[in-house]
Amino acid sequence: MQFNFVAFAVGFAKSALVAYLVVVVLVYLVQRSLVFQPDPQRVAPERAGLTGVREETLATLDGEKLVAWWSTPQAGQRVILYFHGNGGNLANRSTRLSLFQSAGYGVLMLAGRGYSGSTGAPSEAALVADGKLAFDWIVAKGIAADRIVVFGESLGTGLAVQLAASRMARAVILDSPYTSMADVAAGRVPWLPVHWIMSDPFDSMAHIGKVRAPLLVVHGTDDDVVPYALGAKLFAAANEPKRLLTLQGVGHVAPLRDAAWPVIQAFLAKH
């Protein structure tokens, strides 16, 4: 019996294609569990070592309850509307909230759906809607929109960009931002068609041109989660006034107490 190499090659290619399509379908079905990694543990602000911070609950239009930490601003100061990154919970960002407090800024730090006791499951559409809800919650407390600074951290930068494109904030600060989450994923798994199958692409490049508020981008050159090149590309597409703070040798998410903090304070004082 003679070996038919052509038939074997065709059969192998078909099997490989079927296996590849099965992997693509599986990734598509479970992608949100791969993208979002919430810590649901609810920690009271005082247990995280904070004083002058109150836990609030924001009710969404679709019936979910969002946990948020609120610290009132000193007279005449701005309010930081903070959107956290992937993984962890609000308690993991307590030192950042304390830093803002020490400068007199007010803070509303919103826990995304599934994080820190917030109900519901995260998705791009839901998180963006929740961000707008949080912005309007601050305004409803009598704080003018031009006193609100939108701050996004990592995954939260995509939310911050979309919010700032639809609400006129005082300023926007992005820590370790990306062009899109699809671009981040494509860099990790280039063999998957992530731009076609991603349900929550967080396409910041599609929205950054609509942001008119002054912008500060902070990004470390050694970021192995969101490559520095993606943050620099997003910055290049943004409107003036803007500033890029490049942190040499720094990885993912800037250590605010170090080189970034004086720049952030100077940026907020200027704008």
- Do 164 and 135 share a domain, yes or no? yes
Give me the chain's average pLDDT, please. Answer: 92
208 and 129 together in one domain: yes
Q: Which domain holds residue 192?
A: 38-270
Is the domain of 92 the same as that of 6?
A: no
Q: Do 86 and 102 fall within a single domain? A: yes
Can you give the pLDDT at residue 173?
Answer: 98
b/e for 252-262, b at 16 or more Cβ within 10 A? Answer: bbbebeeebbe
Whether residue 149 is found in the same domain as residue 104: yes
Are residues 83 and 108 located together in one domain of the fold?
yes
What tokens were used for 74?
């000193």
- Mean of the pLDDT values across residues 68-82? 96
**Token match 């993991």: residue?**
92
Q: DSSP per residue over the chain, as a string?
A: ----HHHHHHHHHHHHHHHHHHHHHHHHHHHHHHH---------GGGGT-SS-EEEEEE-TTS-EEEEEEEPPPTT--EEEEE--SSS-GGGGHHHHHHHHHTT-EEEEEPPTTSTT--S---HHHHHHHHHHHHHHHHHTT--GGGEEEEEETHHHHHHHHHHHHS--SEEEEES--S-HHHHHHHH-TTS-HHHH-S----GGGTGGG--S-EEEEEETT-SSS-HHHHHHHHHHSPSSEEEEEETT--SS--IIIIIHHHHHHHHHH-
Q: Are residues 206 and 187 in the same domain?
A: yes
Per-residue pLDDT, averaged over 20-44, amounts to 82
| The total number of structural domains that make up the chain | 2
Residue 161 in this model has a pLDDT that exceeds 90: yes
Clarify whether residues 137 and 15 are in a common domain: no
Distance between first and last Cα of the chain: 81
Check which CATH number belongs to the domain holding 155 and give it. 3.40.50.1820
Domain shared by 202 and 70, yes or no: yes
pLDDT in tens, 162-216: 999 999 999 999 999 999 999 999 998 888 888 888 899 999 999 999 999 999 9
pTM for the model: 0.92
User: With bands split at pLDDT 50, 70 and 90, how would you rate the model's confidence at 35?
Assistant: confident
Q: Mark whether 31 and 2 lie in a shared domain.
A: yes
Domain co-membership, 139 together with 258: yes
Both tokens of 87, joined, read 């993984």
Instruction: Kindly tell me if the per-residue pLDDT of 81 is higher than 70.
Output: yes
**92 and 7 housed in the same domain:** no
